[in-house]
Chain A
Amino acid sequence: MDRITLVGLNTAVINNTQKTLARLATYQEQLSTGKKLNRISDDVVAARQSLRYRTDENATGKYLDNIDKSLAYMGATDTALTEITGLFDQAKSIAVQGANGSQDANSRYALSQAVDSYLTRMVDVANTVHDGRFIFGGTATTADKPFAVSADGSRVDYAGNLDTFQVQVGANSTVAVNQDGYGLFKQDVDVFDAMVQLRDALRDNDSGKVAQLIDTVDAAQRHANNLQGSMGGRIQRLELSRAQLETGRVYQKELISQAEDVDFTEAIAGMQLTQVALEAGLQSAARTLTPSLLDFLR
């Protein structure tokens, strides 16, 4: 049989109470901070996960932000193209009018003035500024207007560059947000040239040429339409990635919460149980520590 001493008993009581109190303090910290992960050593695996998920979640947030900005940028591109297609509609109706044999030179001249104003407007649109930047200048975004009508009015020249503006939308993926103006308005089909020709034919009172140019203007409009369509496709793809990233972000947040946040039910239940254990321990200690033979020596 073990020989029990006062000091031994007391030490045991203190040790056990300490342990229970430590558990209680842990629960208290978890409940008051709402986190079960307050320092790395609380749970190394969860801490590592938490760091990674936090980084991921932060990056996802940044990608979403990038996508929002890109969408605004591409939206501006889309708007510009819509306006250009609209201008072509008007130019086309003028071309049809101008091809009509009943028009005389004066009225054709007036029509050519109208086409010229549409051309000027088109060039303005091609020089659209979004967020302080020319959106059709490649990466030459602030210095000179990317498009300018040549001195003799016969051409619209491009002064931007051919570079793309990439935006990061994933850890290893970037998308080109811009479309350089040369590729849009000059390569393959010279959109402005159709207008220049129409204007000049009207001015020169050349109804035959005007009639021929209806098809050219039509082709230029189709080109603008196609570009708008492909821009629309890019917008859609980007919106799809946004939806995916948003879902991913919810999941990442959940993972962070799983790694870091306390399960209140569990913590409260655990705390109550520990409290009961503490009280029981203290009560029994109070009973065992007091009596000794001396109490009964009368």
Chain B
Amino acid sequence: MWVSGFGIQGTRDTYVSSQITVMHHQTDLGRSLQAPKPETRNPQWHSQCVTSPVPESLLIGLTALQTHKRAMEVTSHNLANATTPGFSRQRAELTAPVPEDSNPGQIGRGVDVDAIRRIVDTLTDERLRASSSETGRLKTLRDNLKTIELVFNEPGENGLSGVTNSLFNVLGDLSNNPESSALRSAAVQELQTWTSTLNDLSTRLDRLKQDVRSSIEDQLRGVNQVAEQIANLNQQIRRQTLSGNSPNDLLDARDKLINELSGYLELRVRRNAGDGSALIDAGGIQLVGLDSSNPLRAEIRDGGGVQIMTPNGGILKPKGGSIAALDELDRNIIPGVVGSLDGLAATVAKRLNALHATGTSQAMNATSFQAAFTVPTNGLQLNLDDTQLAQIDGEGAGIPPLFAASFTDAAGNTVARNLTINVRDTVTGEARKYTVHYDPLSGTGSRSMQDLVSAINTGTGGGFAVEPTNAIGIPGVRAKAVAVEGGWQFQLSAGTNQAIDFSPALDQRPTNTQWSGPQVTVSTVAAIPLAVGDRIQFDVERIVPGGAALQLRLSTRNAADGSTVSLGTVALAGAPAIVPVPGIGGSGQLNVDLGAGTYREGDRFVVDLNVGGVVLQKDSAVSGPYVQPNEHVATDAGFAVRGRYSGSLSLGDNQTGTPPFTTWSMRVVTAGTIGAKTSSDPLAAQPPVVEFSYWGGTSASPTQQTVRKILDETLPAGTPVQIADGVYAVFDAGDLTLTDPGEDATFTVDAEPDQAGILSALGIGGMFTGSTAATLRVAQRLASDPTQLNTGLTRAEGDNSNVLRLIGARNEKLYNNGAFTLDDTYSSILSDVGVRINQAERLNDNQSTIKAALENQRQQVSGVNIDEEVGMMILQQQAYTAAARVITFARENIQTLLDLAR
């Protein structure tokens, strides 16, 4: 590249001028070293060499003296700027002017500074600029990614992974001792630490994003400043260049600024050799024109991104440089990390909410539930799994998409779903279990919040229906859609001394098993055309408010084939009363004597025509009371069902043509006294035999099973009687009488209390409220009363099964389409950041090496070598001395001539 001596090689920049440069003597110590702006002189020496009486050698000496003086000035300038960043060394190019013709030969006209040449290699400069952009981008990227990494504070005890560990440790402690209220408080505390750690991560990432944005603004200010300076320089350089000068130091200054600018943005520089101007584009937008610059500004868009705008509305899409890195951080990287964290938070919340909502505990006494999510204003009639209920922008009304309910199977068909609601009497501890059953084929098949409210309050609503069927919906529970800001919230409330939960716990007492109502006496006043063994049934259909009157439905049952014939209804006014009931079989008549007491809707009295030792003869007239009606299940002793279903059959998956799997039943096979010993004495009390009928097997092949138990002295009253799969019954003391066929005591057993995920969707009974890393909080109910943590699936104080479910959720592959556990997901977020840092670091290292090499290359061409300059100076000095000598000689020659004339 370099040729020794005075020769000059390299790419030519601009030269050929008659300008020389003289240093100003002020020193600029303010910032980095910089060659001050040169001063322009207009040298006349050049044209003075005309034919004159003065000897040629004097003139030649004079040109040499002046030329070398100038050359020394250039060399001094180089030496002075030996360490100035961006300075390119300059060379005074000496030539011998065109000689004067003479005879013989030509006479030389001395020496002349042909040009002050700036020695640069534009190709290296170009590459250096590209490298600056890339280094700027990578360095900014790396630094910011490292900040993200710091936010996570991993590995360590205080990062989310450490906090998660301690949360599950405390849950583990609680699982060992679910009775402890201290441990419940500790668990809720840890949950709060966990959510606030997540909130904090989100907040800090958000702050980082704000920082990145203000960095973009700051850097754009820098860009604008530099661009303006370049535009000013462009102006000056053009003026100089057009007037034939070579503004070397201005060119250096401009190159330096362009280099600085390319640290911010990747640039395209178009140089015009004619006027020396440099036009600069970035991302398709002209930044610097001939004499003006385009100031940029950042605008934050609604969607969240930052847009870089020019005054006339152009949009700059940064490609390289630190601004591109900031843009990428703002647009992709930080939102990506926040998004992953949000996904993690939502998945955890959804799963733990669902598990918590369907658990219970001895201390559980929720009398009301308020939804955590709001259904939009137009969403009251929309199906609960309608995508239109989805949350918009993570703010305000709507159900977050992940939390949406589902009423479809894997194939996308709408299927039946159950939601269990237990209503527990907080005084007696007994619960009634209701299923809000959704059947796509019943009603309108719709499944909106309004339908749900209507089903709970009236028994049916859209495709929802309450089971066991009840005209007033779920007694003791009222549902409401409450208007709130932005939409509707679901609300459940229980009556006095009632509590609601959604667990599979079976603290229920099958209804109508214990008769406590008044005795009803029936007598005939005319022949009854019925056979022995036939039955007359009286169903209390409606009680007139106040209990003053009731409406009975009469029906008969044929003993031979079990068929039932309804005989219509009759209203009885007041009680006790004797009311003739006409029309049985067309010609008979009965008197019904209502005993004093309270009647309930749904009560049934039956008259079996062979009971009580009196057989009602067909077509015979019998007078006087001969039978007291039995209660229909015919048990004097009541029983309660306890425990919870732990079998493998999915009880909600009812099949067409079979009774619901959730409906189990009990019938008395042999009457007897509970706890009595089996005895051969026919007069002694015998133990009763009961038979439970339940569904077993798997959902693919469900089978109806029966289990028979003798309630003898080994199973006295109060002893749990195992039925199947965790379900057991406890009988009260007393007698059991025969159950009539088809009138078994039924009870509801469920395993999946919320099959459709309605509770999660509405945000009822959950562990958390909120659905993003920023908004996740421990539900207020838990935070203010840790005893409300649902540790069990039954109400036994030592039941830890729900805590075990919560702990188990940690190892469930719920994330990333079922590929990752909670910990996998978190560590993949971290390793994503780590890998990005490594990548940026490696590329940055490479790029720094390249940049250093290029800078070195530039130095090799344009840098000042002191030895060289000093050598040059010595030569120039000697040449100057020699020129002075020539003048002395010439002067002596003139003197000699003058002496001759004297």
Which A residues form the contact surface with B (CB < 8 A)?
Answer: 1-8, 11-12, 15, 37, 39-41, 44-45, 47-48, 50-52, 54-55, 58-59, 62, 65-66, 69, 131-133, 137-143, 150, 155, 157-163, 165-168, 171-172, 174, 182, 186, 190, 260, 292-294, 297
Contact = CB atoms under 8 A, between A and B. Distances in A.
Contact of B796 (A12, A140, A157): A140
B69 interface: no
B859 A41 contact: no
Interface in B771-810: 792, 794, 796-801, 804, 807
A174 B152 CA distance: 33
B364 interface: no
Contact of A47 (B145, B154, B797, B811): B154
The secondary-structure label for the interface of chain B is: helix
A123 B475 CA distance: 42
B83 A6 contact: yes
Given A51-B827, A157-B719, A163-B794, A66 B176 contact: yes
A166 B874 CA distance: 97
B886 interface: no
Contacts of A137: 798
Contact of B797 (A41, A140, A162): A140
A16 B835 CA distance: 26
Contacts, number: 194
Interface in B172-218: 172-173, 175-177, 179
Given A143-B797, A161-B796, A41 B146 contact: yes
Given A40-B155, A40-B830, A139-B796, 10 more contacts: A4-B860, A5-B860, A6-B866, A11-B855, A11-B859, A40-B831, A41-B833, A47-B154, A58-B165, A157-B719
A142 B796 CA distance: 9
A293 B823 contact: no
A203 to B, nearest CB: 19
Contact of B798 (A48, A165, A182): A165
B155 A163 contact: no
A48 B831 contact: yes
Contacts of A171: 811
Contacts of B495: none
Interface string B844-875: 00001000100110011101111100110010
A133 B179 CA distance: 9
Residue of B799, B807, B852 with highest tally of chain A CB at under 10 A: B799
Nearest to A183: B722
A294 B800 contact: no
B859 A48 contact: no
B128 to A, nearest CB: 13
Contacts of A54: 155, 161, 165
A141 B795 CA distance: 11
B10 to A, nearest CB: 10
A161 B797 contact: no
B867 A8 contact: no
Contact of B871 (A15, A58, A65, A293): A293
A38 B800 CA distance: 39
25 contacts: A3-B1, A3-B865, A4-B860, A7-B82, A8-B863, A11-B852, A12-B856, A39-B149, A39-B150, A40-B154, A51-B826, A51-B827, A55-B164, A62-B168, A131-B177, A139-B794, A139-B796, A141-B179, A161-B642, A162-B643, A163-B799, A166-B800, A167-B176, A168-B172, A293-B870
B827 A48 contact: yes
Contacts of B726: 162-163
Interface string B806-840: 01000100000000000100111011011101100
Contact of B866 (A2, A50, A172, A294): A294
Contact of A174 (B2, B804, B864): B804
Contacts of B172: 62, 65-66, 168
